[in-house]
Amino acid sequence: MSYNLLKGKKGIIFGALDENSIAWKVAERAYEEKASFVLTNTPISLRIGKIYELSHKTKSILIPADATSIQDLNILFEKTLDHFGGKIDFLLHSIAMSINIRKGLTYPSLNYEFLRKGWEISAVSFHKIMQTAWNKKAMNKWGSIVAITYIASQRIFPHYGDMSDYKSYLESITRNFGYHWGIKEKVRVNTVSQSPSITRAAKAIKGFDQLLTLSDKISPLGNASAQDCANYIITLFSDLTRKVTMQNLYHDGGFSHTGISETMIS
């Protein structure tokens, strides 16, 4: 159902790869809510080809950019502002990658070159995107910037490895940059801490299927799906949440506040 929540709003969505991606679901919902947006992902992921389907379906243009490259981000924002003939209202950062996890390296045996690359992709890219938007004066007043995180930033999930540290850093960037955006432009910045859901990034995590089941049994409302996450993010892009900023917002069916459930005990 559409509520026209984003009518007239424009934005950039980072990180839609295939139909399971959280960013893909956000793009579909944003389109239903009458937003216009640019889709972006790495040049290599564009070669996989699926994202063209999404751009066609949502009548959006596609601009490749590696979110760790300031040069790519400058081009992305220049083309976006040119395309819309003015500023934008929302940004979604839905990007993560741990090379250490992909290579099966556990937390005590991290490779530091992989650590640096994963941190650049998963956390620093959020700062770079916001810095580029800041320098280009790209955001309208009362705009909204959202990144997606996971509770492993605060609690230990052993197979989440160095991604836990990236997520802590991502949440810290959110608070720090959120302060400056708020003062300067009344723009809000938040992270959504999402339940596990099966996507390409998630499949790289050892024991992910068991984690998904356990999390579902612990959460009083059950896991929040990627579709639920998209719905929530739409509210954060809308004018209904203008005074929410610098927060890490749990969207996890109650997982974050539950110690153990009766289902788990029995």
Residues 196, 151: Cα–Cα separation, whole Å:
10
Answer yes or no: is 22 a known binding residue.
Answer: yes
Strands 139-149 and 36-40, by their bridges, are unpaired
95 vs 115 by CB, closer to ligand NAD: 95
Instruction: Choose, from 31, 107, 112, 150, the residue flagged as catalytic.
Output: 150
Is-catalytic flag, 107? Answer: no
Contact in structure between 252 and 224 (CB atoms under 8 Å): yes
Answer yes or no: is 10 a known binding residue.
Answer: no
Is-catalytic flag, 166? Answer: no
For ligand NAD, the binding residues (CB under 6 A) are 14-15, 17, 21-23, 41-42, 45, 66-68, 94-97, 121, 148-150, 194, 196-197, 199-202
32 vs 120 by CB, closer to ligand NAD: 120
Answer yes or no: is 156 a known binding residue.
Answer: no
Q: Minimal distance in Å, beta carbon 185 to ligand NAD?
A: 24
Distances (CA, A) of 130 to 35, 119, 139, 199, 240: 20, 16, 10, 25, 22
Instruction: Choose, from 31, 107, 112, 160, the residue flagged as catalytic.
Output: 160
Answer yes or no: is 15 a known binding residue.
Answer: yes
Q: Minimal distance in Å, beta carbon 260 to ligand NAD?
A: 21
Q: Minimal distance in Å, beta carbon 186 to ligand NAD?
A: 26
DSSP 8-state class, residue 240: G
Residues 37, 55: Cα–Cα separation, whole Å:
9
Residues 183, 125: Cα–Cα separation, whole Å:
22
Q: How many residues does the chain have?
A: 266
Catalytic site residues? 150, 160
Per the annotation, where are the binding residues? Answer: 15, 21-22, 95, 167
